[in-house]
Structure formats: structure tokens, C-alpha cells
Amino acid sequence: MAAAYQHSNTARAVLRSLVPVICPPEAIPLGDAIVAHMALTLAAGPSALSRGFAVGLVAYDLGALPRHLRRARALTGERAERYYEGWLHGPTVLHRQLARGINQLMSLSCYEQPEMMERVGYVPAPWIAEVTQRRLTVFRDDVRRQDAQILAPDPLRPGVRIKRERA
Amino acid sequence: MAVAAKPAVHEGARPRNVFTRHDHHGDAVLDADVVIVGSGAGGATMAAELAEAGFDVIVLEEGSYYQTRDFTADTSAMSRQLYRDGGATAALGNPPILYQEGRTVGGSTVINGGMSWRTPDKVLARWDRELGLAGIARDLEPYFERVERRIHVAPMDPEAIGTDNLLLKKGADAMGWKVIGNLRNQVHCVGSNRCAFGCPTGAKQSALVSYVPRALHYGARIYADVRVDQITRHGKRATGVIGTVQGTGHRITVRAKLVVAACGAIHTPALLVRSGFRSPSGQLGHNLSMHPNVKVVAIFDQAITGWKGTHQAFQVREFQDEGLLFAAVNLPPAILAMSFSQRGAALGELMADYDRMVTAGMLCEDTATGRVRTIDGKPQAFYQLADADAANLKRGVVLLSELLFAAGARRILLPFHGADDLYSPDDARRLLARDIPTRGWEVVTVHMMGTARMGADRAAAVTDPFGMVHDADRLMVADASLFPTPIGVNPMETIMALSTRCAGHVIDNAGRFLS
């Protein structure tokens, strides 16, 4: 079995540097958690995707050297913004796809943080608990009836039942 | 004080005849009458029907076994646990189409919206007329009834319908368009709006809480966490399967008198191909239909809180004859944020309106067909959106936007990368005249069909009308691969009805299959 994806040091550093570029300002303190969440998501995805993403991040990191004389991970503020924009509108599909992919994946991980969900008013757990309890109380008889129906005999073909000894 | 019901079927300890990776301590060889690969709409239905008839049934499922109590509000964790590749699989083409498949006991029924519709009459008439499935409409009728009883297909309780769905209906009514209440497999859905991440209330009657417990009750055994590598064969006769336990690497061999492939329209053809089966029709893996979906996000002035209320309570059917269905589909903030091109402060400002957003999507009955190729034993889908379907989707976006403006939307975000947002119905209508390159479209689907299509003519179909693979013996297909054409509505009930019909064929011919 292939080993699950984990960020390389380069990937982690590049992504960490991109948190202020991609995420809203209020999410910046959550940067480490966002980057860690991205690793979980990549590990669950197709291995070709995570491998391609990792290679792309190395290219992104090194690609800053000619113009900025430093790696992308070391860029901050306006320079980091401009460098990312350069990839987003880059010369090849691969440039553009990587930049969009980073945006998508980081936005996903950003709004998976409980603080960010709460900030936009999304707090589903108490709601789920409330309606689950309501259903089992108010509709108790119907729930029981369906549970019984699921197991009740109802052969597809009347009179056909294959009797066999099972080991 | 009222006493709450204690769910009898889908809660509690793991049933004794469900086995997971933790139960394997070495390679194993098992015997059964029937081995079924996949536990979703096709596989679980088949397992329950055959087990009740007295067949010794083993089901192998690549995904893990979860119960209702395991389904939480953690969207990301649920996606990783319940979806193949975390939901990040794509059919290659322009644009690439992201598709989702369930990979868990219960299959995609665990993560679908629960829409339960019979195959439309016009589709069955075409299957009858053009594809050699004589009398299919009449034949399927009792199976639809049986499935609907088993999974409790019913209209929604009105009090569970959320504001986003009411606005969709309001818009359709204002436009004078046909809108109907959705039929769903549920018992008093109370609107947790988590259908796509495993129903946490137990209301949705997915295979996990209907056909799976029924199959187990009648003696079927389910082995979760087992990926089937190949179907074993003796000449053209299928003799069983060999699989690998995920995480341990142990091998499981099942020897059986009948093999049923029910792992969906992407993986069923790949399983057959890597096992050496070929179809004289040349259609195995071909004929892939996908019901491409796009969505728009409308922002209203009022609070909507779309995550409180049932999923897809209504369907707009005004354009069904043109292959378009519309519905409201609330998405958690992370999934929605992922689809926006905004970033930084602009993303934060947009997401601040999350509580005022209505997400509405459309299903397109496609005319194009793609293909599943098997590369190094793994399936890869290829699908090129047809020009006609792209035009239909664009028209659908315009119509849906008009509907949402009629319901009171003030701004609409489009599924076309780089396209300006809409602020009026006129903006929407102007879209029709614009050329929008499809490479920037965000297209997704959860309906894959047709890659082992059934039909009487072995020169044109992969299986016979009962799912038996032409030019093979003891090998059956029982999933959406069988569909000869796309059906234009949610496919779960059709899969279950066809699987029940296939099970009836096995029972009727039990002597032959058990010899």
C-alpha cells in the first residue's frame, strides 16, 4: 500500500507562506491548522493528485528565485501576492491549475476550521442533535414501524426458499 | 415526557456478520453461493433479496463500515471516510468533470440526496423500442413498488423544509414553472441537511439502514475494507473473486457459484476488464453517461440559514423534457468556499454572506457519452461535454438565475471561472449571447451510468436484460452500469429496481446457478 501523503518541509513552508495570500485576514492565526488540514485532504485524494501537487509546490517555491532572488516561501506581503498572481495568470495550464488548486484546497481547509465556520454562522452539531432527538421522540412509532418493516419477511418470489445446510 | 424511540436497525454494536479489517489475521478462503462486489444501491439490494431467498451470500465492500452514530458534523472527516478519493476523482475532458462515489458499506446511497424517482416512461419506452428490452416498463412496475416500500419513498414533511428550498419554489411559482415536491427515501426527515455526508439522524433510508440490515438479518455476510482485485475464472465461467484487505494486505479468496459486480459504472467495467472478460459488443467501459451538474450561488438580503432544513425538497420540472432539472442544494461553507475564485479579504467578505446564500444546481440529461479505460488495472474516466449539452447547461444557468432573481436574489455567482457576477435578470439573459469557454466551467456529477449496458443483442450490449454478462458464465452486473441510456432523473431507485429484477432472475433459475 502506498504511504499516505504528508507534507514535505518545502510544501509545508510554501503553503504556510500562502495563507495570508489565500485566506481572509481573520484566518491567518489559524495558518498551521489550515496547512495541516490540507495534508489530510491530500492524503484522502488520488495519489497522482497529491504527488503532482507536491511537485508543483517545489516548482512554485523555486520559480521565485530568478526574479526575487529568494524562494517563494520567503516572500511576504505585496511580493507574495504578485508572485501568486503571476502563477494564477501564468503562461501554461500547469501554472494556472496549480494556483487554482492551491486556492481551492486552502479555501476548503480554511473554512473547515471551527472558528471560521462559527464566524459565518455555521454551527451544525447542536442542530443535528436537536433534530435527531426530535425525530426519535415525535415520530417514535413511525420510526419503529419502519425498523420492523425492514426486517419483516417479504420474499421476492412466493414459495421459493432454498433450504440448505450452512457450514 | 415522551420517550424517544431507540433505533433498532442501524445503531448499536457491529452486527456479528459484518467483518472489517480488524477481523483478519491472515489470508482467508471463503465459500458462498453468491459473491457480490459492492454494497450500494445495486449490491445491497441484490444481497437482501438473495439472502432472504436462502442463498448463501457474501458481499465485499472496499470501503469501511460506519453506522448512523458515526456520522458527525465534521464535513471533511466524513468526506475522507465515505467518499472514494475524498470526493476528488475526475473524468478527464474539457472541462474535467469532478465526480463523487461513495466508498463505504451502503455505497453512494449513504452520501446521496435520497431522491427516489422511477425511470421516466419516455426512457423506458426508448429502452423497449430501440434497445431490445421488450416490455421493460410493465416488467419493472412491481419492482419499483417493492423498492419504494423497502426504502420508504415518501414526500417530505412540510415542517422540515428550509428557507432555501422555499425560495426556490417561490421563484418557480413566480415564473409560472412546474415545481414538485421531491420524493425521497426517508422516514420523517427532520432537515439536518447532511445527506451528502451520511445522514446523522437515521431518517434517510439508505442501503446502510435498509437493504444492508435486511441482508444481514437473512444471513448474508459483509466483508468491509476489502478491495476486489479480480474475478477468478475457469474459461468463460466466473468462479469467485480475489481481494485484498485494506490496511493489512491480507488476501481474501471467495469461491462462489455466481459473481455479481455491483461496484458502480466506473469500477465495474474496470473489474471485468482486469479479470480478462471482454464483451463481443465492444461496449464494455463505453457509453458512459454522467448527468453533468452545475450550480449557481444566489445571495439574498434575508437570512436563509440553508443548512437548517431538508436537502432538495423540491425539483423544478418545467424543463424536464429538455433534459434539465433544478433543485436547491445547501453546501457547507468549506465546500462553497472551495468553489469561489475569490481569495484573501475578498473571500472573507463573500463568505460573510454565507447565511444569506442559496445554492441551486441543475442536472442535465446528457447526449454525449464517455468511456472508462482501465490503465494499470485502475479505471480512468474520459468524458467530453458535448456542445449541445454545454449549451443546455448554459441555458439552464440563465433560467435558474432568472428563477432566483424572481425569488428575491440580489446577486448571483456563476459556475464559470472568471465570469462576472449577475445582478439582474437582464444580466442573466445576456449570458446567452456570450461565448464562455468550457475549460473554465465547474462541472460535477454523482450520476455515472451505462458502461456495461444491458440489451438483448449481444452485438450491442454487454449484458442480457437480466444483467448476465454476454459471452461469460455465472457473471452478473447489478448497478448503474446496466443503464442503456441516461435516465434524466436521480438513478438510485432505477438501480434498486433493476437489481431486484436481476435477483428475481437468479431465484427463478436457482437450480442452474447452484449446480
**Residue B7 confidence (pLDDT):** 42
Residue A89, in any domain of the structure: yes
Average pLDDT over residues A26-52: 96
User: A116 to chain B: which residues are within 8 Å by CB?
Assistant: 333
Yes or no, beta carbons of B335 and A148 under 8 Å apart:
no
Question: All 3 cell numbers of residue B346?
Answer: 475578498
Cα gap B467→B455, rounded to integer Å: 9
User: A132 to chain B: which residues are within 8 Å by CB?
Assistant: 190, 192, 200-202
Cα gap B44→B34, rounded to integer Å: 13
Count of the separate structural domains present in chain A: 2
Do residues A135 and A76 share a domain? no
Cα gap B36→B105, rounded to integer Å: 12
Backbone φ and ψ of A84, nearest 5°? -60, -45
Cα B465 from chain centroid (whole Å)? 22
Tell me which of B183 and B8 has the higher pLDDT: B183
Minimum Cα–Cα distance from A159: chain B residue: B53
**Residue B14 confidence (pLDDT):** 86
Cα gap B426→B435, rounded to integer Å: 17
Do residues A26 and A105 share a domain? yes
| pLDDT tens track for B58-77 | 999 999 999 999 999 999 99
Residue A133, in any domain of the structure: yes
Contact between B348 and A114 (Cβ < 8 Å): no
Cα gap A110→A106, rounded to integer Å: 6
Yes or no, beta carbons of A143 and B188 under 8 Å apart:
yes
Name the band, by pLDDT with cuts 50, 70 and 90, for residue B304. Answer: very high
Is the CATH code 3.50.50.60 the one for domain B18-85+102-152+191-279+452-514? yes
Q: Which of residues 23-82 of A touch B (CB under 8 A)?
A: 23-27, 37, 40-41, 43-46, 49
Yes or no, beta carbons of A122 and B333 under 8 Å apart:
yes
Yes or no, beta carbons of B76 and A41 under 8 Å apart:
yes
Residue A162, in any domain of the structure: no
Yes or no, beta carbons of A44 and B152 under 8 Å apart:
no
Do residues A17 and A86 share a domain? yes
Q: How far is CA B272 from CA A141, B86, B269, B418, in A?
A: 45, 24, 5, 41
Q: Report, at the CATH architecture level, how domain B160-181+291-365+386-440 is classified.
A: 2-Layer Sandwich (3.30)
Please, is A66 exposed, middle or buried when counting C-beta atoms within 10 Å of its C-beta (0-12, 13-18, 19+)? exposed
Do residues A24 and A103 share a domain? yes
Do residues A34 and A113 share a domain? yes
* Average confidence score pLDDT of chain B: 95
pTM of the model: 0.95
Residue A165 has pLDDT above 80, yes or no: no
User: How close does chain B come to A119, measured CA to CA in Å?
Assistant: 8
Name the band, by pLDDT with cuts 50, 70 and 90, for residue A6. Answer: very high
User: B514 to chain A: which residues are within 8 Å by CB?
Assistant: 162
Residue B419 has pLDDT above 50, yes or no: yes
Average pLDDT over residues B248-260: 97
Instruction: For CA atoms B446, B447, B450, B452, give the dihedral sign.
Output: positive
Residue A10 has pLDDT above 70, yes or no: yes
Closest among A105, A122, A106 to A114, alpha carbons compared: A122
Residue B109 has pLDDT above 70, yes or no: yes
Mutate to test the interface with A, among B46, B190, B439 (most CBs of A within 10 A): B190
Do residues A81 and A24 share a domain? yes
**Residue A167 confidence (pLDDT):** 39
Maximum distance among all Cα pairs of chain B, rounded to whole angstroms: 69
Cα gap B142→B498, rounded to integer Å: 11
Instruction: For CA atoms B486, B488, B489, B493, give the dihedral sign.
Output: negative
Average pLDDT over residues A135-160: 93
Backbone φ and ψ of B361, nearest 5°? -130, 170
Instruction: Write down the residue that cell numbers 464562455 correspond to.
Output: B436
Name the band, by pLDDT with cuts 50, 70 and 90, for residue B326. Answer: very high
**Does B447 participate in catalysis according to the annotation?**
yes
What is the DSSP code (8-state) at residue B191? -
Yes or no, beta carbons of A150 and B335 under 8 Å apart:
no
| pLDDT tens track for B445-492 | 999 999 999 999 999 999 999 999 999 999 999 999 999 999 999 999
What is the DSSP code (8-state) at residue B12? S
Residue B2 has pLDDT above 70, yes or no: no
Residue A166 has pLDDT above 60, yes or no: no
The ipTM (two decimal places) reads 0.93
Contact between B469 and B277 (Cβ < 8 Å): yes
Do residues A110 and A62 share a domain? yes
Question: All 3 cell numbers of residue B462?
Answer: 454487454
Do residues A88 and A21 share a domain? yes
Residue A18, in any domain of the structure: yes
Backbone φ and ψ of B505, nearest 5°? -65, -40
Residue A161, in any domain of the structure: no
Query: Which residue out of B10, B267, B447, B470 is catalytically annotated?
Result: B447
| pLDDT tens track for B261-296 | 999 999 999 999 999 999 999 999 999 999 999 999
Cα gap B298→A150, rounded to integer Å: 40
Residue B12 has pLDDT above 70, yes or no: no
Question: All 3 cell numbers of residue A127?
Answer: 442542530
Q: Looking at this protein, which amino acid is placed at residue B132?
A: G
Closest among B397, B409, B275 to B353, alpha carbons compared: B409
Residue A93, in any domain of the structure: yes
CB pairs under 8 A between A and B: 212
Yes or no, beta carbons of A149 and B149 under 8 Å apart:
yes
**Residue B418 confidence (pLDDT):** 81
Mutate to test the interface with B, among A134, A156, A160, A162 (most CBs of B within 10 A): A156
Contact between B196 and B71 (Cβ < 8 Å): no
User: How close does chain A come to B190, measured CA to CA in Å?
Assistant: 6
Residue A165, in any domain of the structure: no
User: A51 to chain B: which residues are within 8 Å by CB?
Assistant: none
Do residues A131 and A61 share a domain? no
Q: Which of residues 93-132 of A touch B (CB under 8 A)?
A: 100, 103-105, 107-112, 116-117, 120-122, 124-125, 127-128, 131-132
Contact between B448 and B381 (Cβ < 8 Å): yes
Do residues A115 and A88 share a domain? yes
Residue A160 has pLDDT above 80, yes or no: no
Name the band, by pLDDT with cuts 50, 70 and 90, for residue A68. Answer: very high
Share of chain B above pLDDT 90, in %: 94
Yes or no, beta carbons of B510 and A121 under 8 Å apart:
no
Residue A2, in any domain of the structure: no
Of A155-164, B27-36, B474-483, the range with the lowest mean pLDDT is A155-164
Nearest-10 Cα torsion for B44, B451, B83, A18: 180
Maximum distance among all Cα pairs of chain A, rounded to whole angstroms: 82
Contact between B453 and B481 (Cβ < 8 Å): yes
Do residues A98 and A33 share a domain? yes
User: B31 to chain A: which residues are within 8 Å by CB?
Assistant: 167
Backbone φ and ψ of A70, nearest 5°? -155, 160
Residue B9 has pLDDT above 50, yes or no: no
| pLDDT tens track for A89-144 | 999 999 999 999 999 999 999 999 999 999 999 999 999 999 999 999 999 999 99
> A167 in contact with B at a CB cutoff of 8 Å?
yes
What ranges make up the beta strands (E) of B420-497? 443-445, 475-477
∠ CA(B221), CA(B227), CA(B233), 5° rounding? 85
**Residue A2 confidence (pLDDT):** 52
The boundaries of the domain holding residue A129 are 123-154
Residue ranges per structural domain of chain B: 18-85+102-152+191-279+452-514, 160-181+291-365+386-440
Residue B223 has pLDDT above 80, yes or no: yes
**Residue A164 confidence (pLDDT):** 58
- For the stretch A2-7, contacts whose Cβ atoms lie closer than 8 Å and that sit 24 or more positions apart, written own/partner, are A2/A47, A4/A43, A5/A39, A5/A42, A5/A43, A5/A45, A5/A47, A5/A50, A5/A54, A6/A39, A6/A43, A7/A35, A7/A38, A7/A39, A7/A54
Cα gap B55→B507, rounded to integer Å: 9
**Residue B321 confidence (pLDDT):** 94
Cα A19 from chain centroid (whole Å)? 15
